[in-house]
Amino acid sequence: MPICTSCAQPTPYLYTVYSSAYNFRLEQCTACHAFADPYVEHDTLTLLLDLILLKRDVYRHLLYNRGLGARKVGEKAPTNSDGATARDQQQHNELDRWGLIVKLGAALICVDAFIRWTHISASQPGDTSAMATWNRAAIEGFLRILVGCLFETVAFHAGVVLACYAVLKLLPAARAPVSGIRAQFRYSHIPLTLFYSSLTKLFLLFCLSVWRPDSAKAGFDADVAHLQRRDLHPNATSFTHPLVVRALALLDEDTLDREWVVRNVLGGMAAGFGLRVVLDCHPGFTTMIIIAGWLVKTAVANLVSGWVGTGLGVDDKAAGEMWLAYSIP
């Protein structure tokens, strides 16, 4: 059964369809009297942007209400005698959800593999004499990274699902929040939530991989900035305190690893937020769940790092260390 995206109470219908599919009216929630799901009339781009911005209501819409809640004019509300039909519908929705997990996971793993391949191969030689050998090495290296990303993703999801199972079993039933989320929860919601949550970090990592700063240009910009600081206006304010200068130096390109921050810090926060929405529990529990998933993923990354680093066109040990540095939180 669908839920209200505002108060998470179950609702039989989200909207009423009239003469055509584009002529419909949103239903109000009987508990909070707000629209049950305003995202029904939003396009895919709006849903994607709200996912990147970590909106709680869009998670509830995609996880619990997507493709559900339509009522035609004159259709009566479901009764208790329709229990068999409701169970069949739930099984059908479960199969559709697993199909979406496979398709979405395959696409995001390919994007993650491309991002990691770009990061590891940034130091590859670009001379035209070795272009043919480089192309063959690039294909083999990308396939190895793709398989490594697949193993890491499966390990992380397995660790998170097992941790969620343990947390839900340990939580007292009396302390469980009274909402439609816990009643409609299925374990297939967890990997789907993790994939949705990874859109934020993958979007930023893809931007960093495409518009990677050039080291020569960075050195030139540093020289220009030094000349500009020397020619500052006498009344201009500059930071000269040692603590402030050291704090600002941490943001330099050669000091701050932006990819690591986006992948682990921002990615972990996004995954924790998504799990809090789907599990409807305290943030402390979701933090422990994410740490458990990280531990499992780290163990798998150590196992596959040597194999992934083989055939990337650089030193195998160095490539394996780059893989670990990019994978381990």
Q: What is the pLDDT of residues 223-262, one digit of tens each?
A: 444 444 555 445 545 666 677 667 766 666 666 677 777 8
Three-class SS state of 123 = helix
pLDDT at 240: 64
Rounded to a whole number of angstroms, the distance between the first and last alpha carbons of the chain is: 38
312 token code pair: 């990337």
Q: How many other CB atoms are there within 10 angstroms of residue 36's CB atom? A: 28
> Which helix H or strand E contains 169, and what residues bound it?
helix 131-170
Residues in contact with 12: Cβ distance below 8 Å, sequence separation at least 6, in sequence order: 1, 2, 69, 71, 77, 78
How many of the other CB atoms lie within 10 Å of CB of 17? 16
Q: What pLDDT sits at residue 237?
A: 54
Contact predicate 274/197, CB 8 Å: yes
pLDDT at 123: 53
Alpha carbon distance 309, 305 (integer Å): 6
Q: Which of 47, 55, 9, 48 is nearest to 28 (CA)?
A: 9
Burial 63-85 (b: 16+ CB within 10 A, else e): bbbbeebebeeeeeeeeeeeeee
Q: Please give the Cα distance from 270 to 284 (Å, whole number).
A: 14
Question: Hunting for tokens 């969620």 — which residue is that?
Answer: 164
Name the DSSP letter for residue 129. Answer: G
Task: Check residue 78 and report its DSSP letter.
Answer: P
DSSP string, 266-300: IHHHHHHHHHHHHH---HHHHHHHHHHHHHHHHHH
Distance separating alpha carbons of residues 277 and 211, to the nearest angstrom: 33
Q: What is the pLDDT of residue 174?
A: 44
Distance CA 257, CA 109 (A): 22
What pLDDT was estimated at residue 176?
45
Mean pLDDT (10-residue bins), the chain, 329 residues: 86 81 80 88 89 90 83 61 61 86 93 85 51 63 88 94 90 57 86 92 84 53 48 54 68 68 84 90 89 91 80 61 68
Asked if 44 contacts 25 with a C-beta cutoff of 8 angstroms, the reply is no
The encoded tokens of residue 329 equal 């939180």
Distance from C-alpha of 112 to C-alpha of 123, rounded to nearest angstrom: 19
Q: Kind of pairing, strands 70-72 and 15-17?
A: parallel
Q: What letter would DSSP give residue 255?
A: T
Distance, in Å, from the CA atom of 122 to the CA atom of 298, rounded to the nearest integer, reads 23
